[in-house]
């Protein structure tokens, strides 16, 4: 899902891949949905201060390009992070391109939701020191239990990793 689709460039870059991208045009941004449709892509309008109408754990990847900075002025960024956590599958990724200030603000929120940083790049080559790209990974069920170092004693007296009891 491209959370701030613009003209659908993220989806257009992936057009030859065996996947689909839901382009979301935020309601507080210019209306570009017709341009997305003209490119043969799918999309919708949405206010990210509200819940997105989808099943939980629907998406494998969320892409956010300069969306969070604008949302933090309109609504509670914690609610937006909780919604991203709800719609992203365990083991899924969040790709954020935003200001360092915004990324600093959302980092403790995502860490509290058991997300981890997989890649971080300040965009110094573009001479934009206030911009950074960061990839977050939502931990899967097996990763959460492994990282919590929780062990249980099985009926045979041996220690078993909790991962073995999960499907």
Classify residue 57 as left (phi > 0), alpha (psi -120 to 50) or beta: left
In tens, the pLDDT along 37-55 reads: 999 999 999 999 999 999 9
Q: Is residue 5 part of a domain?
A: no
Total of domains in the chain: 1
In tens, the pLDDT along 52-105 reads: 999 999 999 999 999 998 898 899 999 999 999 999 999 999 999 888 888 888
From CA 4, how far away is CA 153, in angstroms rounded?
Answer: 47
Predicted pLDDT at 104: 85
More confident residue, 109 or 124: 109
Q: Is residue 2 part of a domain?
A: no
Q: Is residue 83 part of a domain?
A: yes
Which tokens is 22 given?
């839901």
Residue 153: CATH number of its domain: 3.40.50.150
């Amino acid at each position: 899902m491209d959370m701030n689709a613009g003209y659908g460039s993220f989806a257009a870059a992936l057009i030859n891949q065996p996947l689909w991208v839901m382009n979301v045009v935020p309601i507080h941004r210019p209306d570009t949905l017709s341009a997305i449709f003209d490119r043969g892509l799918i999309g919708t309008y949405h206010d990210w201060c509200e819940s997105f109408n989808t099943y939980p754990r629907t998406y494998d990847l969320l892409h956010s390009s300069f969306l969070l900075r604008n949302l933090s002025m309109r609504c509670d960024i914690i609610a937006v992070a909780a919604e991203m956590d709800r719609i992203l599958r365990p083991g899924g990724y969040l790709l954020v391109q935003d200001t360092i200030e915004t990324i600093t603000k959302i980092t403790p929120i995502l860490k509290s939701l058991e997300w981890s940083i997989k890649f971080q790049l300040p965009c110094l080559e573009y001479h934009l020191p206030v911009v950074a790209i960061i990839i977050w990974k939502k931990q899967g069920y097996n990763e959460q239990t492994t990282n919590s170092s929780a062990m249980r004693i099985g009926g045979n007296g041996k220690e078993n990793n909790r991962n073995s009891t999960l499907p």
